[in-house]
Amino acid sequence: MAPGGSLIAAALLSAAMLTAGGCNIVAPVAYAIQGPPTTPALHTLDGSRTTVVFIDDRLNRVPRRSLRLAVAEEVEQALMRKGVLSADRVITTRAIMREASNDRFSAPRTVAQLGRDLGAEVVIYATIDSWTPSPDGVTLAPSAAVRVKVIDAAEDRRIWPPDGAGHRVVASLPPQTRGVPSGADLDRANAALALMLGQRIARVFFEHQRDALSGRLDD
């Protein structure tokens, strides 16, 4: 038997013995042999089409515009890091945010029209459902939720998902209790939440690993 085969056989034998003895170490052994499980992309973007990311917050749930920008820019960067999109096919989110700010409140353009006016063929569009750095004013437990859609700006239609309400993406950070959080604490929590939310949105569009031992998502 080849050396590699001997190692695998030994690992499988150890797993069987541990199971027989009632020891709960089988999952780590399987993890070591097979590697971390992966979560597939929910939607595959067309990398040949010019794309822009737009995070919309018409109900002003996010405390600062800069946080929306941070979420969208992390989506952009994560998709480019993974090779899902190339830099020459990405229109910056700053451009579409500027464009949207020129709309009259009573007559906003559609998402598809905003994209077309910038020369984008596809808009990754997310609306903010919730944004909470602290649920009670004492515990720092940042969480946010958005609904994501992919819009064909050229054809003025939704590409994904089939459900018109959008695909819900949630991000949350572990709670911390250290007394009443200061303004600086809230700023740091909001910044970390923006980064995580951007990563969660981006992962909709590429396969990623899940750490089987901790449940933590890794790029």
160 and 202 part of one domain? yes
Supply the pLDDT for residue 19: 43
Percent over 90 (pLDDT), the chain: 68
Residues 36, 42: Cα–Cα separation, whole Å: 19
pLDDT of residue 142: 95
Does 17 share its domain with 84?
Answer: no
Other Cβ atoms within 10 Å of 92 Cβ, number: 15
The answer to whether residues 127 and 70 belong to one domain is yes
Instruction: Find out whether 78 and 199 touch, Cβ atoms under 8 Å.
Output: yes
CB distance 134 to 111 below 8 Å: no
Structural domains of the chain, count: 2
Positions of the chain with pLDDT lower than 70, given as ranges: 1-36, 211-219
Residue with token string 């990623």: 208
Asked if residue 111 and residue 65 are part of one domain, the reply reads yes
| Predicted local distance difference test score (pLDDT) of residue 180 | 81
Task: Please give the share of the chain, as a percent, with pLDDT higher than 70.
Answer: 79
Residues 56 and 81 grouped into a single domain: yes
Which domain range does residue 140 map to? 51-218
Q: Verify that 11 and 94 share a domain, yes or no.
A: no
Tell me if 203 sits within 8 A of 80, measured CB to CB. no
134 in a domain, yes or no?
yes
Do 180 and 212 lie in a common domain?
yes
56 and 24, same structural domain? no
Residue 53, beta-bridge partner list = 124
Q: What are phi and psi of 52, to 5 degrees?
A: -135, 145
Strand 167-172 and strand 143-152: pairing?
A: antiparallel
Query: Is 42 part of a structural domain of the chain?
Result: no
Sign of the dihedral through C-alpha 76, 79, 83, 84: negative
Q: Identify whether 43 is part of a domain.
A: no
Same domain, yes or no, for 100 and 25? Answer: no
Please choose, from the candidates 161, 126, 133, 131, the residue with its C-alpha nearest in 3D space to the C-alpha of residue 147. Answer: 126
**3 state SS of 171:** strand
CATH code for position 80 = 3.30.160
Q: Which pLDDT score, from 0 to 100, does residue 8 have?
A: 46
Same domain, yes or no: 133 and 62: yes
Q: Are residues 75 and 24 in the same domain?
A: no
